[in-house]
Structure 1
Amino acid sequence: MDIGYILSGFAVGFLVGITGVGGGSLMTPLLVFLFGFKPMVAVGTDLLFAAITKTGGVWVHHGTHKSVDWKVVALMATGSLPVSIATIYVIKHLIAVGKDTTGLITYALGIALILTACALLIRSFLLRKQVAAVEDDVISIGRFNGNTQIAATVMVGAVLGALVTLSSVGAGALGTIAILLLYPRMSTLKVVGTDLAHAIPLTAVAGIGHWTLGHIDFTLLGSLLIGSLPGIWIGSHVSAKIPEKVLRPILALILLLIGFKFVLA
């Protein structure tokens, strides 16, 4: 276990506890630039890391707050999980024919970081404008009607499936934005809970897929978990004392700069 990995896990966990987002978007670039891991190993390890760390959050949202819309989760997963599996097979095929996938993953990571930075800035605006739904609504009211709403939700899930599998980024901030746009009357608590619930199977399936490709460093994964779990706990408790409106723009700017660095590399 490397103390540097543990401290990095703690730092990222602390920021996630304060802001609610930023796990993959911070962890993956950190592993690439600070510790020199190959992008595919950083992405694969971070996906399993996300699946494990997000599970506790969903347990709280579902068990304590009853704030997960499982119908929306199922619709998004209908799009995201098959596309995630297909993306893994594409990567596997490219590796089999001797193609270097590093450039593809690096570019996808840069695009995902830029989109996430924009999503962080838009998210606060949408949350302020949103009309909160009644908390005991079983099914959320969508922006569209009937089959159009179903198709739009599945399609958004499919896009997230490809992006998250390639980059490990987007399941949090981009997923939240997608749900806010598709279900504008959903309460903030349910948006967060639903997004977390969808992120777990997606990151788990994508992470296991990268595991089959040999892209997981389990020593690194264990070190990150040792640091991140207390980091998230502490960050969550001090979040009320640090203005989120100050932290989010700074975080967005950092992600934007890192994203352009990946894209232009």
Structure 2
Amino acid sequence: MTLPHIDLLYSVSGLAVGFLVGLTGVGGGSLMTPILVLLFNVHPATAVGTDLLYAAATKSAGTLVHGLKGSVDWRVTLRLAAGSVPAATITLILLHRFGMDTPRAGHLIQSVLGAALLITAVALIFRPQLAAFASRHRHAPGEARTLFFTVLTGAVLGVLVSMTSVGAGAIGVTVLLLLYPALPTVRIVGSDVAHAVPLTLLAATLTLVGVRLVLA
């Protein structure tokens, strides 16, 4: 029985990304997808699908831990999923319909990836200030308004994550801090992690199936 060949550079990249994510808690998609595209010359759609599948596995473990600790607000998770799941499905159907393997689609994914990385960087840099602002203004907006903007946030994340695998953590948590100022940070993080599981699993499945059909 022969073992499959393993490129050590992939393993080293995974180790480095895992180490940084372990230190910071965010950035898996922000780091791994660009590495796959720029360093390993992987097609953008394949890189996104691969990273999404990996994220689905890791987020599942994180959800289990947060769930056992009671640090998941399932109401917030369901509201996010109500927007993200349909948005991700529509986005990937459109990408497959217009040709995911075309240079135009590759350039589009790379452009959206660049924008998502910039937004993620801004969200991470200014998160302490936003968290402080939210703690000073602990009166959440009206229930209907909160529901609307939570679903809208989920829809935006669905588009970004399905196209780039970036944004579910840094951007989602930052927006939730503003929408739910009375909710403890640990529950916001746990709710965002739990929401990422169905989103990344769905997006990974649709992306990789689409790529396989295209390359077949």
If the length of structure 1 is used for normalisation, what is the TM-score?
0.74
User: Match for 2:188: what amino acid?
Assistant: V
C-alpha distance in structure 2 between counterparts of 1:2 and 1:9, whole Å: 11
Post-superposition Cα deviations, 1:133-153, rounded to whole Å, max 9, x if no partner, equal xxxxxxxx8722122211111
Unaligned runs of 5+ in 2: 1-5
- Structure 1 segment 123-202 matched on structure 2, within 5 A: 123-131=127-135, 143-202=140-199
1:99-135, Cα deviation, whole Å (9 max, x unpaired): 7311110111000000000011111223344439xxx
Count of paired positions: 207
- 1:131–1:184 Cα contact (<8 Å) kept: yes
Partners of 1:51 and 1:178 in 2: how far apart? 21
CA RMSD of aligned residues (A): 2.1
Structure 1, residues 62-107: CA drift from partner, whole Å, max 9, x if none? Answer: 11x2000000000110000001000011001111896731111011
Q: Percent identity?
A: 46
Q: Distance in 2 between matches of 1:158 and 1:71?
A: 16
**TM-score when normalising by structure 2:** 0.90
Q: Which residue of 1 aligns with 2:3?
A: none
- d(CA) in 2 for partners of 1:69, 1:118: 26
CA contact (8 A) 1:130 1:184 kept: yes
Out of 75, 82, 88, the residue aligned to residue 86 of structure 2 is: 82
Measured in 2, the distance between the counterparts of 1:142 and 1:93 equals: 44
Are 2:134 and 2:178, in contact at CA under 8 Å, matched by a contact in 1? no
Q: Which of 1 and 2 has higher RCO (CA within 8 Å, sep 6+)?
A: 1
Tell me if the contact between 2:87 and 2:158 (Cα under 8 Å) persists in the aligned partners.
Answer: yes
C-alpha contact (below 8 Å) 2:26/2:169 kept by paired residues: yes
Gap runs ≥5 in structure 1: 133-140, 217-265
**Structure-2 change in CA distance of 1:177 and 1:96 (3 Å):** closer
